[in-house]
Structure 1
Amino acid sequence: MSVDTVRLSQPAKDRLTYLKRTTGITQWNVLCRWALMLSLKDPSTPLVKDIVTDSNVEMTWKTFAGQHGDIYLALLKQRCVAIGEDPSDENVARMLTVHLHRGIGYLGADKEMATAEGMVRTVIPA
């Protein structure tokens, strides 16, 4: 295990608070899982490298990842390797933070994803 606690920045918390209200999805971890997967789906490297996780939102890895923790961890390690970084605990934790925050940005930027139905439509083409 390389990640114990998942923490969010204040801007990420604010964006997720809005999304909780508009989508009806009330759990931070569910929205965060969507955000992580949206970011990992994008093959580019996130531009932001340093993120201040200064909000009061934090969750354990088990809460964040649920029963699929091994899959999320493998995807993060694979992304480290893909960009030429050692999949060390520190690099995996940093990868989680930058991809989680980029994904939260994606969720908040696309008006289509302001509803649960819109979120599903973005990943399952009609």
Structure 2
Amino acid sequence: MTVEMFDFKSALKRTKLNPVQKMTLSNRFKGREFPMPTEQDNVYEVAFGETVINIRAAENGLVPDEMDLIADVLSRARKNEQKAMIDMLTVIQVYPLAQETAETLIKEWGENGVESKLIAGPALESVAK
């Protein structure tokens, strides 16, 4: 089975990051490719109060070190922590996360009262059986 890929820079256009953030991230992730969505991805719905987002966990998704790098770039580019967090939420909706990364974020968010649930993927199917 051939998995279709997309590069970091092409998806960056779908974010509302500022030009400095986009340039810095595209330079740091030059040549990095990600899998297009498939039925093998686990999809989680995460509710931050009224704001609900979906995140995708997939093989070859962003690993924790890459997420730390992205968070560092976004927080340095924005002096306002809340805006940096909104930027991060935008990024994690566009790019797939490694399963480990998704689980870590969901656990951290859960400790702060954020609700999440698995809504699609092999992990959901195995629970249903």
Higher RCO by CA contacts (8 Å cutoff, separation 6 or greater): 1
Check whether TM > 0.5.
Answer: no
Structure (1/2) with the larger helix percentage: 1
TM normalised by structure 1 equals 0.31
Larger Rg, first or second structure (1 or 2): 2
Structure (1/2) with the larger strand percentage: 2
TM normalised by structure 2 equals 0.31
